[in-house]
Homo-oligomer: A and B are copies of this chain.
């Protein structure tokens, strides 16, 4: 069984590796987990001994099949708890991350099964991020950024940036998961977008915002 700390490292590495595709360097991990490179070196050795990652001195780490499976289990818990907090307890979608960061480490397979059922087996968390199933399987729909969307209608599916500040901004503007939007115009000046939400509200969002919103068309 992994410690709290080992779980946090493994999850961070998994995310940085884009789901196990890329290999990940020491400094990236250190930055993402807010620690020093020397500490990362120690920990990746430990995770490598447990066969969760492979580690090549000076050349970063790769997540193993086992590591992926464990990382996905943690991500599953994180996202189910976030869903619970928003759907059942009435949290705002920008408030849930830090609490879920703690709840994801609770050890009880039965609890997660029952929570999943209580929530009605949701397929995505409040940020639109897919919730892996019991076997770690993720059902991914092809998503593009709002910036890349053509002028046809698109549906908001998820956000790349889950920071409270960005989510607050979206709420204020009137953008939410599931909203139907249409890009009316791309301003030549700074790349900002004029969009219509649910056929009614017309708003302007920055190029950067557009890059952090994922949609399906």
Contacts and interface: CB of A to CB of B under 8 A. Distances in A.
Interface in A93-145: 95, 98-99, 102-103, 106-108, 110-111, 114-115, 118
Interface of A: 85, 88-91, 95, 98-99, 102-103, 106-108, 110-111, 114-115, 118
Contacts of A99: 106, 108, 110-111
Contacts of A106: 99, 102-103
**How many copies of this chain does one complex carry?**
2
Contacts of A85: 111, 114
Pairs of residues from A and B, 8 with the lowest C-beta to C-beta distance, nearest first: A89-B114, A99-B108, A102-B106, A99-B111, A89-B118, A88-B118, A90-B114, A103-B106
A90 B118 CA distance: 9
Contact of A102 (B90, B91, B107, B115): B107
